[in-house]
Amino acid sequence: MNALKIGIAGLGTVGIGVVKIISQHSDLLEKRCGRKIEICAINAKSRKKDRGIDLSPYHWVNDCKDFVNIDELDVVVELIGGSEGVAKELVKESLLKGKHVVTANKALMAHHGVELAAIAEERGVSLRYEAAVAGGIPVIKAIDEGFAANDINAVYGILNGTCNYILTEMRETGRDFSDVLKDAQNLGYAEADPTFDVEGVDAAHKLAILSGLSFGVKPDFEKLSISGISSVTSDDIKFAGELGYKIKLLGITRCSDKGIEQSVEPCLVPKNSAIASVEGVFNAVYVDGDFVDKGLLVGRGAGEGPTASSVVADIIDIARGFNKPTFGVPIKSLKDALWVNGDDIIACNYLRFVVIDQSGVIADVAAILKKYDISVESFIQRGRDPGQPVSIVMTTHEAKQGDLKKAVKEISQIKEVKETPHVIRIEHL
């Protein structure tokens, strides 16, 4: 059988990892695929940059858009990134030309996956994206293949290693968010502009993809409720610990009679839960199916080796002749989802207020919570300091999130409340 010839657009950390795997495991890959996998074209912004590996054996293409005109090229590997611009154009044109595409581009798939999947199906080629979600964890394959016999009830987990590292360090060292973020940047875990990571956007792109694949619906990033971790304080982490919880940034997508709930936000999870034990830069994804029950996948969510491994896994599938629908079902079967409004989600919550320590304040807070039918489960106040700001912490029984928002807004207008109240969802996973 003829060799499968690939072109790699983007030679950053992941792209170089792909080159290393294909060159070092050439014989192994041929045995597993029944044919050779050959790199026949490469492209990046700079040809002169030292990438720590000899790239001279490969044909350099000055403009990656020219990949579509290389007749012998079977697969285009897009590792440029971004939901628009060159990345989108390259993927779209490659599919239109009848070339398979493998991408690690979560933003592209979250925003344009349906459009691109339709082109791939029409042209009879594959659009694969294992590396776009959770790095080296094969969660796309798990849902699409291993759990394919199940109706999926929910998918949830830790989808961003940067946030998990920051929250882990904050808990273990007692330091504040901004201090730990600087460490994460120095270690290469966070970008110079960390907004996409710490504000939950990166995890939300991944969750939108998982929603589409899990429930056979068109991914809709705009319907996601997103909150990041920048407002989580060392005090919140300390109080969570006293209550028996850890704080994790979770992506959650669930199917119910009301529709599909999808959100990314910090959550308190029980200390003794499996997901609470996943620390540092690791990711973890639960898949809940009707026959298989719950399955947990844990591993590195980013980095050269893990992410490149997922890219090559998709290339191997193509070399073996596998051609599956991009989102698990044919495009005509993908539904427009009924999305649950974030305000209609029902959950328990952690509340922390900074108030002036004087009589009547707690009664005023409790009265507002009662007004919105929000029941308090537990209460913490450490010490007394009359006339000075103190923290009070409450956890609630299940309540509608929209009602909780109204209550918190009203509580924040009490003159003795000196900070915007902190609200964190509690999930008993």
| Three-class secondary structure assignment of 135-155 | CCCCHHHHHHHHCCCCCEEEE
Return the closest-CA partner of residue 68 out of 24, 33, 119. 119
For residue 15, the SS3 value is helix
Q: Which two tokens stand for residue 171?
A: 């808990």
- Which residues have CB under 8 Å from 332's CB, separation 6+? none
Residues 371 and 274 placed together within one structural domain of the fold: no
Domain with 86 in it: what CATH number?
3.40.50.720
For residue 254, the SS3 value is strand
HSE on the CB side for 183, CA within 13 Å?
15
For residue 158, which phi and psi values (nearest 5 degrees)? -90, 115
Domain assignment of residue 77, yes or no: yes
Domain assignment of residue 317, yes or no: no
Domain assignment of residue 158, yes or no: yes
Residues 262 and 170 placed together within one structural domain of the fold: yes
Q: Where are the beta strands (DSSP E) in 45-163?
A: 75-78, 100-103, 127-128, 152-158
Domain assignment of residue 321, yes or no: no
Q: Which two tokens stand for residue 168?
A: 């882990």
Domain boundary among 102, 132, 162: 132
Catalytic residue among 92, 99, 141, 206: 206
Residues 128 and 148 placed together within one structural domain of the fold: no
Residues 190 and 274 placed together within one structural domain of the fold: yes
Return the closest-CA partner of residue 318 out of 103, 90, 110. 103
Q: Which residues pair with 269 in a beta bridge?
A: 246
Domain assignment of residue 315, yes or no: no
Residues 25 and 150 placed together within one structural domain of the fold: no
Distances from the Cα of 4 to the Cα of 12, 60, 74, 225, 260, angstroms: 22, 18, 6, 41, 40
Domain with 400 in it: what CATH number?
3.30.70.260
Residues 214 and 279 placed together within one structural domain of the fold: yes
Domain boundary among 84, 115, 132: 132
Residues 283 and 155 placed together within one structural domain of the fold: yes
- pLDDT, position 283: 96
Domain assignment of residue 202, yes or no: yes
Domain assignment of residue 69, yes or no: yes
Residues 362 and 282 placed together within one structural domain of the fold: no
Q: Are 419 and 354 in contact (CB under 8 A)?
A: yes
Q: Which two tokens stand for residue 148?
A: 């394919």
Residues 286 and 374 placed together within one structural domain of the fold: no
Domain that holds residue 210: 139-302
Q: Where are the beta strands (DSSP E) in 342-382?
A: 346-356, 376-381
Domain assignment of residue 219, yes or no: yes
| Number of structural domains found in the chain | 3
Active site (annotated) includes residue 206: yes
For residue 157, the SS3 value is strand
pLDDT in tens, the chain (429 residues): 799 999 999 999 999 999 999 999 999 999 999 999 999 999 999 898 989 998 989 999 999 999 999 999 999 999 999 999 999 999 999 999 999 999 999 999 999 999 999 999 999 999 999 999 998 999 999 999 999 999 999 999 999 999 999 999 999 999 999 999 999 999 888 888 999 999 999 999 999 999 999 999 999 999 999 999 999 999 999 999 999 999 999 999 999 889 999 999 999 999 999 999 999 999 999 999 999 999 999 999 888 899 999 999 999 999 999 999 999 999 999 999 999 998 999 999 999 999 988 888 889 999 999 999 999 999 998 767 777 888 999 999 999 999 999 999 999 999 888 889 999 999 998
Domain with 237 in it: what CATH number?
3.30.360.10
Q: Which residues pair with 347 in a beta bridge?
A: 399
Domain boundary among 107, 132, 157: 132
Q: Where are the beta strands (DSSP E) in 187-239?
A: 225-226
Four-residue CA torsion sign, 130, 131, 132, 133: positive
Residues 99 and 185 placed together within one structural domain of the fold: no
Residues 242 and 350 placed together within one structural domain of the fold: no
Residues 167 and 280 placed together within one structural domain of the fold: yes
